[in-house]
Amino acid sequence: MNKQVIDLNADMGEGFGPWQIGDGDDRHIMPLISSANIATGFHAGDPATMASSVSLAKAHGVAVGAHPGYRDLVGFGRRSIQVSAQELVQDAVYQIGALQAFLQLEGMVMQHVKPHGALYMTLAADEALSLAFLQAVQGLSPQLEVYCMAGSATHQAAQALGVKAVGEFFADRDYDASGRIVFTRRMGRLSPAAVADKVMLACTEGLVDTVDGQRIPVDFDSICIHSDTPGALELIRTTRDRLLQAGITLRAQHERAVG
């Protein structure tokens, strides 16, 4: 594997009212990425934040996706909440529709949907639930892509339904020997150089080092760095610089499809 073009995504708009999550300012991160996952109000975000995030993305030519999560502002969407499949899907439709409205006001089209936090992990392990979720996504807009882990239940459901699945590589998360990310509730500060090295290994050799000392293959179309990771701005800036220095072009998924 030697990727020449890659998408770089980050979660944006994850404040609520006057409160901000993480120490990376969205105004500084947005120009550095190619795709933004904008919080849709249930784990973070509010109407004003969604509107400003969409405007910021438009100003910098960044593709936008909805980032729906569990109804869990207190836990930042990182707690798995037991609800019926119908309620989960209805909550997701509500959130995606809200962001679609703000995009319409700006003359933009939504590129993708990326579940947030615990919802992402729940869907990744449950193909039946992923099928219900993605059928609703298809109903909202057939061209919407889904960001997920390659080989996950969400990925398999997308293939079954003909939904474009965009596999992610998590630059700021650890991997175990099975290829799954290691859940961490509180992230420590990471070395920007080490994160960039990790991304370059994945892009040039298709490999990632695991927490138990193995080196395993990894398949992906997009690199994710979470904006709430401590030092996120420098992680993203350093990684972007390394990619560009290596001659790798940053381009959103929908641009890759038509470019």
How confident is the model over 54-101, as pLDDT tens digits? 999 999 999 999 999 999 988 888 898 889 999 999 999 999 999 999
The CB density around residue 150, as the number of other CB atoms within 10 Å, is 16
- Classify residue 195 as exposed, middle or buried by CB count within 10 Å of its CB (0-12, 13-18, 19+): buried
How confident is the model over 217-252, as pLDDT tens digits? 999 999 999 998 999 999 999 999 999 999 999 999
pLDDT of 253: 73
How confident is the model over 166-208, as pLDDT tens digits? 999 999 999 999 888 887 666 678 999 999 999 999 999 999 9
pLDDT of 18: 72
pLDDT-derived band at 134, boundaries 50, 70, 90: very high
Per-residue pLDDT at 117 exceeds 70: yes
More confident residue, 22 or 120: 120
Domain count, the chain: 1
Largest CA distance in the chain: 49
How confident is the model over 15-29, as pLDDT tens digits? 887 777 766 589 999
Range of the domain at 152: 5-258
Give me the chain's average pLDDT, please. Answer: 93
- 115 Cα distance to chain centroid: 8
pLDDT of 256: 55
CA dist., res. 133 & res. 95, Å (int): 13
CA dist., res. 234 & res. 254, Å (int): 26
pLDDT of 154: 98
Which pairing describes strands 215-217 and 207-209: parallel, antiparallel, or unpaired? Answer: antiparallel
Helix H or strand E segment including 217: strand 215-217
The CATH code of the domain that includes 87 is 3.20.20.370
Distances (CA, A) of 69 to 1, 55, 94, 129: 33, 22, 11, 14
